[in-house]
Structure 1
């Protein structure tokens, strides 16, 4: 019965950062719903007294939603109106996504909601911010050098910028939720990072991952990208390599392969070998060169994103699109099952539930040593 299950649950050591027992309010009724409504939460789950754990749908467990509540309201309630920690939030009600009414406070709420999963993918990587001060219907700009307005508590790293306006720039390194809140206050909707990390003295480590950026040409969508992603997976599998897929939050997707190299150019060389072999085997569907005129009806496997001077959108980052879409890690089952572009479109409203269900699907990039890449030329050879 419910009461005995609750007593057993409360005996377990679950009060921590990853698991805790949901609070229980027996017979609270209308008073509980009023409190939920005041906090902007979507509702509660009601369990009938004395009921046993259900084996299927039934009347003993019911979701009771509060009228007018939404996940956005919950996020707004989670995001403190004045900011988070040492990061302040100005103009929290400023609308950054007019089509959905998404405010700066909502953006902060998103980044706080995903911080536990997202920060490990940002930590020790110099971040390039793409900012929309007047919202997504206004102009945007990339910002690398944050020296003018970075607070003393935020880690910054002076990194060389060959080909840029200056020889180096002071990049933000977003190592915690406070850093994400600081970026949200700048309306830095998009956070881009390279495929390599910084050492404790800001020296560059070799790349620790390979990225295959799948860019759909005119007449193709993420559906065709999924087909190409499966071909990449099969090719890597021939060599015992495992990649992890993610949407870009836009039209395409990326695959990330944890790697261990000593030559900073090796990841780019390897990605090019994979792209060119796929373009040879699937000439009607895949292209490995950047010429836009040749991409119509094909998916471009952009291997050049492994260049140490380039970046890709960080996992769980928002995108500056009409709607607040998110670069979202996905399962291979979702890739296999994609039939319509909408199947792999996720907004900030979707992320809390996805993280509850899947956790961080990109976590293997963090907690594995990385694969040694096959020696040069092996990928380019077609078996048989």
Structure 2
């Protein structure tokens, strides 16, 4: 049987690293695409990357979603059986500061991959996965969000991902490409980027515990999110591309916590006893042991438009993909704490 070949855009990110390792266990040959940079940022995949001359099943190559020619060249040369587009400017707050770049990478980047598949006449040879996000639902009023919930994005990031979602559907219907959208709710891990709130909370609390940091600053404490583990979610990505027909799926846990509840869980595990005082932007957490404030809110970390509530309905994924999350929020937090230790 011919070995399957996967091409992963965004391989150096959290999801790219977990997906690469998952596919290698499935005996794939994996090509990971990273942007050229003067900084070595391969720490998440250093355990599977050997070197350019090795006969490894994991090969690192350069490319950029803003460069059509590099995308076309890679797909033409590698001839993958599956393409996973995980590359993005994925920070919601940052997308307000670099909206044009976010739109170019997140929206047009997906289009460039689909165009390359079409122009190379690989419509019947390649299966394509597009990484969507719950931020596309944004300010929706629906209590549970599923595949039929209308999008109401509240950031350039959410808007750009909505374009990528619909252009994927459009190319599936217009050209017969096996193309799937995974609408993934928040998924975290020990290797999450340091500017994302779960990692920031765990890392900040650990540094305060070790007297390496005095305070942790946060934004909206009452935003509710549906948090899962990235390791579970990459399996769902793969399962989508193994189906008989392409389709779109919500991937989530169906459970929510506020930022404040996440903080309380993590703080208790790390050994803090907190007392919350104040309201609104002046709310803060006091360390009961020494009566010192260790968590405060700051307007710098508020978004121009807040998304207050996201919660996914995964009935379709459970039924069609036989997928459900295995790792609980408590186990996720434990794993993230152990990683920091």
TM-score by length of 2: 0.26
Which structure would you say has the larger Rg? Answer: 1
In proportion to residue count, which structure has more helix?
A: 2
**RCO (CA 8 Å, sep 6+): is it higher in 1 or 2?**
2
